[in-house]
């Protein structure tokens, strides 16, 4: 499944069923849909963004306890996921980086962009963590949906491959956070390992990705929560 061409299924918005109404039902068990990323890995100090105060976070916790409010956050998170995925320049990135046109490449590119959003969301305290988890839930629902369209494989094989992607994503998030909090050399090392699978001998291609991450992150860190989550006005910069 991971090496099957995916260009014909990247039109996410053309799906016949809205992802908000479709929940994982068997292939991804309920224990694997809410992947909690340790907060220490996704909280950094950025110019222009104020960390949530304890009082604000407490108020958010009280509001989130309301079932209706939680359902509203969930629905908006899934819609945000759709918009984010629709706008990622997959074709251009694959072409520029000479990546294989496979499901695995789609997942790795998606993973990178969602990580950048997660870093921004971690500034929102409890509210940001909840939104991150809902987006992660939407991701795994999408992975299951796309995997079913790509190839006819047994549910056991599909479940095993999705579990592998889950393990890879957990490690990738920690690796990207380490690179982001360290320096370009560490970040470049992570890009080489994850995106290029240690098979890139062209440092300029690795540099392209590092610069793209730095530029995109600098924009996201200056974006307000309202524009990001409520208006869903997130535009990925052009991949050179």
Q: DSSP per residue over 152-179, as a string? A: ---HHHHHHHHHHHHHHHHHHHHHHHHH
pLDDT of residue 125: 84
pLDDT of residue 153: 72
The torsion angles phi and psi of 3, rounded to 5 degrees, stand at -105, 15
Structure tokens at 56: 């604000």
CB-CB contact of 85 with 236 (8 Å): no
Confidence (pTM)? 0.75
Low-confidence ranges of the chain (pLDDT < 50): 6-51
Structure tokens at 218: 């600098």
pLDDT of residue 187: 96
Cα separation, 181 vs 192, in Å, equals 17
Cα separation, 193 vs 215, in Å, equals 21
SS3 39: helix
pLDDT of residue 33: 35
pLDDT digits (tens, 9 = 90+) for 18-57: 333 333 333 333 333 333 333 333 433 333 334 456 566 6
């Amino acid at each position: 499944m991971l090496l099957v061409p995916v260009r014909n299924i990247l039109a996410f918005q053309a799906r016949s069923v809205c992802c908000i109404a479709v929940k994982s039902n068997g292939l991804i068990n309920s224990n694997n849909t809410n992947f909690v990323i340790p907060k220490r890995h996704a909280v950094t100090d950025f110019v222009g963004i104020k960390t949530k105060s304890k009082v604000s976070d407490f108020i958010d916790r009280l509001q989130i306890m309301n079932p209706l409010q939680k359902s509203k956050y969930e629905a908006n998170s899934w819609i945000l996921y759709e918009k984010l995925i629709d706008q990622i320049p997959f074709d251009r990135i694959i072409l520029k980086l000479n990546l294989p046109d496979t499901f695995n490449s789609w997942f790795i590119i998606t993973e990178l962009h969602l990580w950048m959003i997660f870093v921004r969301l971690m500034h929102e305290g409890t509210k940001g963590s909840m939104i991150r988890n809902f987006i992660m839930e939407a991701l795994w629902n999408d992975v299951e949906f796309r995997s079913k369209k790509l190839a006819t494989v047994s549910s056991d094989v599909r479940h095993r491959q999705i579990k592998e992607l889950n393990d890879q994503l957990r490690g990738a998030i920690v690796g990207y956070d380490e690179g982001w909090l360290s320096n370009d050399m560490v970040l470049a090392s992570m890009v080489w390992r994850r995106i290029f699978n240690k098979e890139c001998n062209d440092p300029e291609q690795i540099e392209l990705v590092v610069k793209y991450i730095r530029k995109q992150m600098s924009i996201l860190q200056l974006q307000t929560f309202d524009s990001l989550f409520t208006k869903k006005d997130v535009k990925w910069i052009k991949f050179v």
